[in-house]
Amino acid sequence: MVEGREELQKAMFKDLHKSPHECNLTELDFTISEIEHTLRHLDEWMAPHSAPITLLNMPGTGATILDPLGVVLIMGAWNYPVLLTMCPLVGAIAAGCCAVIKPGSYAPETSHAMARLISRYLDPDCFVVCEGNRDVTDALLKTRFDSIFFTGSGFVGKLVAKAAAEHLTPVILELGGKSPFIVSKCADLDLAAQRLMWGTFLNSGQTW
């Protein structure tokens, strides 16, 4: 994320016309922060947690030990192509999982950049990038994974959930939608208007 910053910035400009500042503000710095937060807390998250036992099991002790799920399919989105692909990957790595990464196909230059960087820095036996259109997505969804993380529309989310159900695969769905605003009577209208417009047009209208 640090050494590949300029490469990702150039790719996002080609795909989305994001300036370097907006790339940093809305994607790269958020992802780096996610990594740093994970590194700070990983030992705590990995530690066994004591669990209560019944009288029948006395004088034994109980603990919950977390194991990796296995191979995770991560399906990113085009509107935040780095953030919504790399942050789930951070979680998968922290959990000890391997991952198949499918970046959003509508941001092809960013997809190519992430594919180059992931193959350069991560173990190719554990982390694979599959690029392409909906045919690639359909083929991936016919494969059994241990977990699926998808960001996108509710329509596609239903297709993902249906495909996952064939294998009883757990899914995490982060589905899109626009957020309404409520401006109360006591609000400073000039300030509220500025903030609403900033959020509305940030990332070409793909945030609020």
Domain assignment present for residue 130? The answer is yes
Say whether both 140 and 77 belong to one domain.
yes
Predicted confidence (pLDDT) at residue 208 exceeds the cutoff of 70 = no
For residue range 43-95, list pLDDT tens digits in order: 999 999 999 999 898 899 999 999 999 999 999 999 999 999 999 999 999 99
Q: In the prediction, which pLDDT does 177 show?
A: 67
Say whether both 33 and 123 belong to one domain.
yes
Residues 18 and 79 sit within 8 Å (Cβ to Cβ): no
Say whether both 116 and 190 belong to one domain.
no
Say whether both 28 and 130 belong to one domain.
yes
Say whether both 16 and 117 belong to one domain.
yes
**Under DSSP, is residue 16 helix (H, G, I), strand (E, B) or coil?**
helix
**Looking at residues 144-166, what average pLDDT do you find?**
94
Say whether both 196 and 154 belong to one domain.
no
Domain assignment present for residue 191? The answer is yes
The overall pTM is greater than 0.85: yes
Predicted confidence (pLDDT) at residue 178 exceeds the cutoff of 70 = no
Say whether both 82 and 28 belong to one domain.
yes
Say whether both 16 and 86 belong to one domain.
yes
Q: In the prediction, which pLDDT does 80 show?
A: 93
The H-or-E segment that residue 147 falls in is strand 147-152
